[in-house]
Amino acid sequence: MARLKFEMFVDEWSSKNRGVSSTFTDGNGVESTSWWSSPPDSISHVDIGYLKGRYGNVKTKRHEVFIKSRFREEMQRLVENKEIHI
């Protein structure tokens, strides 16, 4: 079984369109990507239904908790590295 993975990045398209892309990989290795036009610094208030809408492979509470935690970490990293400004 693969490990869960969540990463955020600013590629050329995201930079041009002033946003951030993110990818979630589930325990089966299935990957889905979402683009955030104006990413918040936290998504702790959203429910699993919202995350399922962004990432089609979100299925469990474990996925929800993992993504919320990693989202905070990734946003902090992007801000600290000056890749984005919030």
Amino acid at 19: G
pLDDT in tens, 15-63: 888 899 999 999 999 999 999 998 888 899 999 999 999 999 999 999 9
Confidence grade of residue 69 (pLDDT, cut at 50, 70, 90): very high
Two tokens, residue 62: 């474990």
Q: Where are the domains of the chain?
A: 5-80
Residue among 36, 12, 13 nearest 24 (CA): 36
pTM of the full structure? 0.91
pLDDT at 2: 73
pLDDT at 21: 95
Where b means 16+ CB within 10 Å and e means fewer, 4-39 reads eebebebeeebeeeebbbbebbbbeeeeeeeebeeb
Residue 68: is its pLDDT beyond 90?
yes
